[in-house]
Amino acid sequence: MITALLAWIGLVSGQWCVQRKYITKSRMMAVTKRETYWTYNWLNIQVQRTRYGSDFEPHYYTEPQIVKVCCSGYTERNSTCVPICIPACPDNSHCSDPNRCSCNSGYSSTISYEATIVCKPICDPECPAYSTCTKPSECECNEGYRTRNNTCEPICITPCPNHANCTAPQTCSCLPGYRLTADGQECAPVCKNGCPLNTYCQSPGLCACRTGYTLKSTQTGGVELTTEVSSEECVPVCSDGCPAQSSCVAPEVCRCEEGYTMLTLGVESTNISTCVPVCEEHCPLHASCMRPNECECAPGYEMSHLSQHRPYCQAQCQQNCSINGKCVAPNVCECFDGYEHVNGTHTNNEPTISQQPYCQPKCTNGCLHGICFAPEVCVCQPGYLMGAQGVCEPVCTKSCQHGRCIEPEICACDEGYRLSAADYSKCEPICTKACINAECAAPGICLCRDKYKPKHNASSDALSAHECEPMCIPECVHADCVAPDQCRCHEGYVPHDNATLAHMCQPHCERSCKQGKCIAPGSCLCEEGFELESTAEMDECVPITTSRTTTETPFTTPETTTINIQTTTSLITSTAYIVDWFTKSLTAESLTTTNEETPVPQDSLAGCTEVCYCWKKEGSDLCFEICGLDNDTCIDAKFSHCNEADKQIAYTDGEAITTFTCGLNRTTSIHYRADGNEEPLWLLIAGSIFIAIMLMAIVYLCVRIYQTRHETGAHDIPLRLLMKL
């Protein structure tokens, strides 16, 4: 009575609902099936055979039934419908209505959206800084802090030094304008821009000169021990001043510049110091030390440096007689034997650097295409070499292939060749037809460039000799090769998202494919739990409603694996293929499930098994076969469907559908497996090795028997001797 009253109250309050369901029932019928398979005969040759077996197929019918269930958003618990919140409500909250969470008393949420509320305790008044409200109206200082005068202050066990405060747990911070020293024991003043040389930071932002130094601007005045500094330089003070070529480097200390030495002269009981230059080596004749390690020659002479000789002062001549002659005195030039001065080659008013040699060699017979290098010695000009007749002949460094050299680096080409526009020393072949993507290798012969091949002429079914087309490695998929290793996608395809698969083009769906995957141009495949819904603007995969369920009954055979379907079965609808076999037992209005074990009706797999033996899941390299064994590498044939158009297999495990694609094709693969049996290649190799070893043993035994008979002269060998062999 009480239960009926509560049920009535639940129906009135909207938590209970009445639903009409259709229960699908089935009865099994025996059928005979024929199956072909591959195996190996006694010669280890693969052959095809046929076997027969019996199986059962279900016959389905439905019956209506009215039941009382909890309304949407509620679940039954202890004969009562309670609201459901997905996801579950967080701490310190409870589910008050379907998908609505409410905070417990003393807690509140800063987020208004009920599904993601975060309930935190309420403290009134608010907690002070460095503290947390842990319970309603209860505040607690954070770790490392303590309560003092209704505030939380940091704790420093070790007392902080002068000019510092405890600003964080176990952390002392210097006051503004100070910072910790390297040992961390004191807070020293800080000058933001640093202090110049010979100064120190006296207080925050204030530098002062050290003892014995003064500001550069007050250097002429008295010595100040500590003068405040902003950006001026503090320099040492020498009260008596320093001589020329020296500077005050320390208080009352003068030092000569580098290369000078201090020389003190006594004049009337007064010492006068001066800095003189120092030359480590004595200056040569006609020279004197004018600067540190620099000797200066007298007028009319110039310092000369010869290898393995000390520098000396060389006389200078206005004439250029340093070549083939020598200057024996200022403006006095003397030529060597075989050389003479040629009048009119220069004037005395021209600078020496622009004059021709004063002394020039003599060649009696002249030197065509050359210069007189030495007396009676002719040297050819650049681009010429001395020939057998003593005449300078032109030279072409590139040998003038297919031509002859007529001028330095200029060739006259043979017939069928012409000079290159970029290099006059090179003869290039002439091709009457322009080479396309190729180079003219010989007269009338074109050679394809790298990554190009002769173009196929469709009209004459031959290769074009003067035109080349690009090559793409690997070959383009759903695309055309437009340049070396560059593919252009076909209509309806776009470049692959993965850069390593740039040669492959993936299908493109112009209409949006939300919550799905574009598997062909304009074809959308929905994800698990979604079905395709087309509108005027887009194709959208929408969730499958929970009211669409199915009920299936047990299906068992001696060799059939069953599955237990206890949850709502999701339907996947695709424009690429329609899984008819997976929707045979579904009604149009409502589909429910029961706890009965039912295998998925099986369609023919012949279209897939004949062309492929290795099936792979997306994102995996593991090879699967189609068989009826309970093996992790097998796809149960009774729960699979072949899509011959896309060469794919759809497999259901009762809760989801998995798609397999062909990994190894039977027509292109040399070695494959069938019916779950591995190719015994290793057995064939092992058998061949074993037979070879046995033959070698037999031959060895025969040779030993022959040798023994020959050595003993006996025709019959005793058994003990055979055992010894």
pLDDT in tens, 552-587: 333 333 333 332 323 222 223 332 333 333 333 332
* Cα→Cα distances 210→201, 248, 476, 531, 702, Å: 10, 15, 80, 87, 111
438 pLDDT higher than 60: yes
Record the tokens describing residue 641, joined without a space. 């469907």
Closest CA to 229 of 202, 252, 189: 202
For 485, residues 6+ apart whose C-beta sits below 8 A from its C-beta are 451, 470, 471, 472, 473, 503
Q: Which residue has the higher pLDDT, 350 or 724?
A: 724
263 lies in some domain: no
432 pLDDT higher than 60: yes
pLDDT at 695: 93
Q: Which residue has the higher pLDDT, 721 or 287?
A: 287
Alpha-carbon span 513 to 575, nearest angstrom: 12
The predicted model gives 327-337 an average pLDDT of: 84
pLDDT at 698: 92
* Burial (Cβ within 10 Å: 0-12, 13-18, ≥19) of residue 396: buried
pLDDT at 696: 93
353 phi, psi to nearest 5 deg: -70, -25
Question: Checking DSSP bridges between strand 634-636 and strand 625-627, what pairing results, if any?
Answer: parallel
Alpha-carbon span 100 to 73, nearest angstrom: 10
Identity of the highest mean pLDDT range in 75-79, 174-178, 580-584: 174-178
318 lies in some domain: no
Record the tokens describing residue 189, joined without a space. 């003043």
Of all residues in the chain, what percent carry a pLDDT higher than 90?
2
Alpha-carbon span 251 to 202, nearest angstrom: 21
pLDDT tens figures, 518-533:
888 878 888 777 888 7
Q: Which residue has the higher pLDDT, 694 or 498?
A: 694
The number of folded domains in the chain is 4
pLDDT tens figures, 357-399:
888 888 777 788 888 888 878 888 888 888 777 778 888 887 7
Alpha-carbon span 127 to 137, nearest angstrom: 9
Identity of the highest mean pLDDT range in 275-289, 353-367, 625-639: 275-289
Closest CA to 636 of 577, 559, 553: 559
pLDDT tens figures, 128-158:
888 888 888 888 898 888 888 888 889 888 8
- Bridge partner residues of 171 (DSSP): 168
* Same-domain check for residues 457 and 541: no
Last residue of a domain, one of 113, 144, 169: 113
* Same-domain check for residues 598 and 715: no
pLDDT at 693: 94
Cα 422 from chain centre: 41
pLDDT at 28: 83
Closest CA to 657 of 688, 678, 635, 677: 635
* Same-domain check for residues 487 and 633: no
Q: Which residue has the higher pLDDT, 44 or 602?
A: 44
Record the tokens describing residue 394, joined without a space. 């032109």
143 lies in some domain: no
Alpha-carbon span 551 to 713, nearest angstrom: 92
Alpha-carbon span 701 to 706, nearest angstrom: 9
- How many C-beta atoms lie closer than 10 Å to residue 601's C-beta? 19
* Same-domain check for residues 585 and 717: no
Closest CA to 21 of 70, 71, 64: 64
Asked if residues 193 and 208 have their Cβ atoms less than 8 Å apart, the reply is no
* Same-domain check for residues 556 and 672: yes
Residue-range definition of the domain harbouring residue 64:
2-113
In 3-state terms, what secondary structure has residue 562?
coil
pLDDT at 549: 39
pLDDT band at 655 (very low <50, low <70, confident <90, very high): low
577 lies in some domain: yes
Alpha-carbon span 530 to 522, nearest angstrom: 18
Last residue of a domain, one of 113, 133, 157: 113
Asked if residues 497 and 483 have their Cβ atoms less than 8 Å apart, the reply is no
Outline where DSSP puts E strands in 324-425: 325-329, 332-335, 339-341, 359-361, 370-374, 377-380, 384-386, 392-394, 403-407, 410-413, 417-419
* Same-domain check for residues 492 and 559: no
SS (H, E, C) 253-306: EEEECCCEEEEEEEECCEEEEEEEECCCCCCCCCEEEEECCEEEECCCEEEECC
The predicted model gives 294-311 an average pLDDT of: 85
* Same-domain check for residues 516 and 614: yes
550 pLDDT higher than 50: no
For 198, residues 6+ apart whose C-beta sits below 8 A from its C-beta are 209, 210, 213, 233, 234, 235, 236
Peptide bond into 311 cis (omega under 30): no
Mean residue pLDDT of the chain comes to 75
* Same-domain check for residues 532 and 467: no
pLDDT band at 690 (very low <50, low <70, confident <90, very high): very high
435 lies in some domain: no
pLDDT band at 603 (very low <50, low <70, confident <90, very high): very low
Amino acid identity of 650?
A
Of all residues in the chain, what percent carry a pLDDT higher than 70?
76
Closest CA to 591 of 68, 62, 17: 62
568 lies in some domain: yes
Last residue of a domain, one of 508, 527, 553: 508
* Same-domain check for residues 631 and 504: no
Kindly report whether the global pTM for this prediction surpasses the value 0.85. no
* Same-domain check for residues 480 and 580: no
* Cα→Cα distances 98→9, 66, 70, 544, Å: 18, 25, 12, 20
* Same-domain check for residues 72 and 32: yes
Alpha-carbon span 325 to 337, nearest angstrom: 9
Peptide bond into 680 cis (omega under 30): no
pLDDT tens figures, 393-423:
888 887 788 888 888 888 888 888 888 877 7
394 lies in some domain: no
Alpha-carbon span 298 to 333, nearest angstrom: 19
219 lies in some domain: no
* Same-domain check for residues 699 and 617: no
Q: Where are the alpha helices (DSSP H) in 641-680?
A: none
